[in-house]
Structure 1
Amino acid sequence: MDSIQPKRIFFFDIDNCLYAPDLNIARMMKQRIYAYGRKIGLDEASVVKTCGSYYRNYGLSVRGLVMHHQIDPVEFDEQVDGSLPLEDIIKPDVELRAMLKSIKTRRWAFTNAGNNHARRVLKCLGIADLFEGITYCDYSEPDFPCKPEREAYDRAMCEASVDDAQLCYFADDSAKNVEAALNLGWTAVLVSPAIRTMGADKTHLQIQSIHQLPTVLPQLFN
């Protein structure tokens, strides 16, 4: 019988976590967000500042664009996330697949991206079949929650049918998202090539690449 409780679950962020940030997908996404901002009337001088402000204040630029510019979130998703040439950039990761298959927990994807983008990335990596489900942001839902808001983590637990925070493990490239998970009692791992610090009372694990996960949580692997 498995020595690890079968109810334990590992929530994995997707973008810049399951693949390396040096693929520059985030940069391409920013360029498309700015292009969309110009399309709806933001001038060249303010589009970067405005979209950046929305990202900082609302967690995602699209939330501010919906709130203040009444954009069509479905159109935004199609023209921004949906236009990324993911299949040309992200390739199957055999090492990642082997690592995920060996983890002795349930596996769940937890992203601030939309459903279509999340599924495309997982398919490109060759790991889509390894996840029980995906908690994603539905841009068409009024006031949808996103990390690092508590409501997003509560939704992830609800959708994954887990009610004990001590059973939850989490990996993300955002220090804010990791800190929010720690505040809820999750075991959290920051995936970042750069060393980042949190509050003095926050004890977290950090790795440079998701492939190093077994080195910090060996008890979860064969």
Structure 2
Amino acid sequence: MHEQIDLVTTPAGDLVAMAHCNNGTVDLNAWVSLFGQVGAALGAQVDANALFETLYRAALEGDADGGGMLAYNYLAGEHVTGLEAGRPLFVRTPASTFTLANFMRTHLFSSLGALRVGMDVLLKDEGVQLDSMFAHGGLFKTKGVAQGFLAAAMDTPVSVGDLAGEGGAWGMALLASFVRAGGGDLAAWLATEVFAGAEVETMTPVQADVEGFDTFMERYRAGLVIERTAVDSL
């Protein structure tokens, strides 16, 4: 038993050990929005997709560990790290390399931090071995950025399909369509009716990024006392 891990099943009834994180990209999106507001104040009207693409790709130019900086994306509490409430934080030291590339890399890393903590319970404490992972959600719309960082965080190949930008509401619509189609074998229906023509791209971990993410996680774990203090004080 691990309180960080939820025991659930897939809609088809397969058993799942889930590292469930409460915070995703809301804080990251807020920073992107802020940069968009700066652009607008300067008279530049930038398409939202282009803004995300530009800022996310900037992260690829950052230092492997994010330049010695730290962020927590905790708008809500995060049970995986023992926080009952959240305070979004960005912290750097005088020695940190404060650049746009490192800033974006740090916040993208932060969006995966709690997930890594939860997955470490399975990978390190329970000895689970991963063959590969599939990723989906808006975070992966910019090809080759968050996907590569997730591969580094898990030290596992990560695959993303061309429908990766769709999320939970779309999944529920698929289940409704499955029921209306008469049910049966859900996995087979998805394979033949939904994903048969889907294009899938796989990224393998880059060793330098794996080491950089590990360094970031050492900072992330050590800095949780800062997050705790913020929750208690503000």
TM-score by length of 2: 0.31
Q: With CA pairs under 8 Å and 6+ residues apart, which has the higher RCO, 1 or 2? A: 1
TM-score by length of 1: 0.33
